[in-house]
Amino acid sequence: MSIQVRQHQPGKDVAQFVAFHHDLFRNDPVWIAPLDMEVKERLTPGKNPFFEHGEATLFTAWEGARMVGRISAQVDHEHLRIHHDETGFFGFLDTVEDPEVAKALVDAAAAWLRDRGMKAMRGPYNLSINEEIGTLVDGFEHAPTIMTPYSKPYQGALIESTGLEKVKDLYYWRYAANDGVPSRAQKAWDAIDAMPEVRFRSVDPKRMLDEVRLLLDIHTDAWSANWGFVPITEAELHKVAADMKLILDPDLAFFVEIDGRPMGVCVALPNLNEAIADLDGKLLPFGIFKILWRTKVKKPKSIRLILLGLRQELRGVKRYGPLSTAMYAELVRRGHKNYEWAELGWTLEDNRLINLAIKAMRGKLTRTYRVYEKSIDN
């Protein structure tokens, strides 16, 4: 039977697009359904500030009356402003195990991007590099943590069958709280603790917007040279502040101040996926109460470290060489009483120094996500 591809408008025609993953992953014991409401908001202009600097469309694939796949296609004008590379993006790619379905969807996304002047396509990005990114290619036995996607084991091979090729692997690392702080990290923490001009200051939830603006300023300074980097816009900053305020544990988010000036930041979030694992994506009728109980009273047993970095001017300053390692140790000190394990991610596969430092801190590589790219010029 031939494959039919249908186009859907973000914000107005997303119900089938969102519902598909329930059918695809229904019997997968590891998959955790994201909240349907949250996914719909991310695909809705006016609710996701991505649409203030980007445009997108959605496609679904059908075999008769049966939906067999989905994909998004998007142009991020902030990315184009920074990189000038005529690259568009695809995302939310999930399919049954059929190369014809994958090809039909990728071809549809490529045609839409080509019509908007793009000469290459990269993904999956759901919808930007500052949201969920990549296709899981290793570590399928581990449940997805907060703000990370999940994929069928065959999905990577299907993507490659469409002509897309690997451009970058992204690593996720796991720490066990009972492993404690390695002696090297403890020595780094002791050295930093002895410096009178340095202090670790928790994020203040009462000043969340200002605090998020500050941490994203450090993030931009620290990561601006990284592969694919796109800065957070003001509207996205407001959305991040509102979202973080709902789930933030202040013990897990802190600044490093030197002589009163914020020079580094560390942000880890409670793993909300623990709280929603049995909700099947539904908030109603009782899901919201379960989430509140599980995040505010019972609390998750794991966290995800999403941000840790220092301003570039500190790089190469010998006195503060132990600082990044001391930040890891500080996070362990703050979190080990309430949390059993932590995931750090993502890091770039070719960021050798960072990855070696993580291994030295007893981090174990547990999941790998892959980003793909191909030319669509003519």
Return the closest-CA partner of residue 143 out of 225, 30, 291: 30
The span from the first CA to the last CA of the chain, in angstroms, equals 28
CB atoms within 10 A of CB 138: 17
Q: Are strands 120-123 and 87-95 parallel, antiparallel or unpaired?
A: parallel
**All domains of the chain in start order, with CATH:** 4-170 (3.40.630.30), 175-370 (3.40.630.30)
More confident residue, 293 or 232: 232
* pLDDT over 70, % of the chain: 99
Across the chain, mean pLDDT equals 94
Question: 67-76, 110-119, 287-296: which has the minimum mean pLDDT?
Answer: 287-296
**Rounded to whole angstroms, how far apart are CA atoms 137 and 42?**
24
What pLDDT does 378 receive? 74
**Rounded to whole angstroms, how far apart are CA atoms 97 and 157?**
10
Give this prediction's pTM. Answer: 0.95
Contact 61, 4 (CB under 8 A): yes
Q: Are strands 261-270 and 302-310 parallel, antiparallel or unpaired?
A: antiparallel
309 DSSP β-pair partners: 265
pLDDT at 354 over 70: yes
pLDDT at 338 over 80: yes
What pLDDT does 313 receive? 95
Distances from the Cα of 277 to the Cα of 92, 175, 234, 280, angstroms:
20, 21, 32, 7
pLDDT at 40 over 80: yes
The predicted model gives 303-321 an average pLDDT of 93
Task: Quickly state the pLDDT bin for 116 (edges 50, 70, 90).
Answer: very high
**Rounded to whole angstroms, how far apart are CA atoms 144 and 124?**
16
Contact 87, 54 (CB under 8 A): no
The predicted model gives 97-114 an average pLDDT of 98
Contact 214, 362 (CB under 8 A): no
Contact 325, 185 (CB under 8 A): yes
**Rounded to whole angstroms, how far apart are CA atoms 43 and 8?**
11
Neighbouring residues of 250: CB distance < 8 A, sequence distance ≥ 6: 202, 203, 204, 205
H or E element in which residue 67 lies:
strand 66-76
What pLDDT does 171 receive? 98
Task: Quickly state the pLDDT bin for 286 (edges 50, 70, 90).
Answer: low
pLDDT in tens, 173-210: 999 988 888 899 999 999 999 999 999 999 999 999 99
**Rounded to whole angstroms, how far apart are CA atoms 209 and 257?**
18
Distances from the Cα of 68 to the Cα of 124, 130, 164, angstroms:
18, 28, 20
Task: Quickly state the pLDDT bin for 288 (edges 50, 70, 90).
Answer: confident
* pLDDT over 90, % of the chain: 86
Task: Quickly state the pLDDT bin for 298 (edges 50, 70, 90).
Answer: confident
